[in-house]
Structure 1
Amino acid sequence: MIATDLHALTGAYALHALHDDERAAFEHHLASCDACGQEVAEFTATVGRLALASTVRTRPAMREQVLERITMVRQVPPGAAVLERVRRGGRGGRALGRWALAACVAAAAAFGGTAVWQYERAQGAVDRAAQAERHAEDVAGVLAAPDARSRSVKVAGGAGTLVVSASRDRAVFAVSRMAPPPGGKVYQLWFADGGKMRSAGLMDPGRSSQAVLMQGAVDGASGIGVTVEPAGGSKQPTSAPIALLSVPA
């Protein structure tokens, strides 16, 4: 059942807590109500700050423990059972034994290559996890900073909020329900420095809601912009900004 007062649904909408009929009615209302749009953007930023600020840091020794266990845990090499049966088979199995032994040696060599490949994959996964953890901590640090200031804007059909911490000299751009970029394109963030645009990184084209730690220092920037660029980004903007907002004081 659709609520009669659509203005009261801003918080539930930001939390994705509306039923399909309520969400459709509210989004239709949102298109023509600036007050609700502002509230949704502010609620969205608040939800992001609360969620990311509660990130739990893993123990520093976890990475070393994972890498150590990878080197200690082994699988049974292919052909090991066959080799044992041949060893017990006596003279009648000598001819077969030579072939089986050769097969086992080849299998062991293949297993060795597989083990190296598995180790490298595990190492890459650990490194990616550590990088993601550091990124989450940096984002949470900006959002939870005592001096964090925010400013909101509508962007690509969704709501965007810029959060800046002067003490950390970093900025986070959080978006919710942002339309995907055209095929082969990506959203790129920029700092405006004295009339020049400085790249601040790319947004993930596959995510409609995300919090991006902008690359580079905020100091000296008067505002930020969002443009649509070719995949991989551009050194300078190649399209008109789809969103512009000043850096909150």
Structure 2
Amino acid sequence: MSESSRQRLLDDAEVYALYATTETERRDIETERLRVDDTARAQFDVLVSEIHETLALAAAVDAAPAPARLRSDVLARVASSGQEPTVRELPPNVTPLHRHRRERSKSWRYSMMSAAAAVVVAVGGVVVVTQTMGNDAQPSQADQIVAAPDARQASAEFPGGGLATVSYSLSQDAVVVDLDGVPQPPPGRVYQMWFVDGAPRSAGVVSEDQLTSENGTVVDGLGSSTNFAFSLEPAGGSPQPTEVLTMLTLGA
């Protein structure tokens, strides 16, 4: 088996998986698959399988019920038309997709599959297209802090129950505060957070939403703080802590 035959088969994996070939071209690809060695055949099968999985995921994410009228029209056409596949000759001004594809690099092919997936289904002359275009969500600030190479974590119990956990990153200059099972403060009082690097610096009061949030609270301005503290203060907070409840040590 020549290297060119192996590469040609791998180059055809995408159009084969997307059914972007004529019936004759598809048979040629399948014949070529049988001619190559086991390694090349396995690589081809893996590529086809990965593309099918990507398309299935894209279809599942963006799937929506077809309008009732469209569904009934499609089913009516299917019922009244023959089910044998039809292969049409291409017009002279149309070049088969796989000939263009061989000019593209491998990096382009893989970036195309990760950035967009398109499924085209033709039934009785009706074409339905499902497409996704780069819908990957950007990581939140909290995710970036927790995932930073220098990220650390410290935890301490609250008086009366509950746990305070602080994830922090010097490079991100911020912390993520998670409060698990911490009770509500007494009426007219609030929890206040503090950066401690000599003199305490207020990091804000804890709102009721933050107290019950499962996503954590991002607080910027870590600086060179070596401790993070919680205190119990009058509503609205205090310029300096008056009743420290717990303090977490932030290591380097």
Q: TM-score range by the shorter chain?
A: 0.3 to 0.5
TM-score by length of 1: 0.42
Structure with greater proportional helix content: 1
The structure whose Rg is larger is 2
Structure with greater proportional strand content: 2
TM-score by length of 2: 0.41
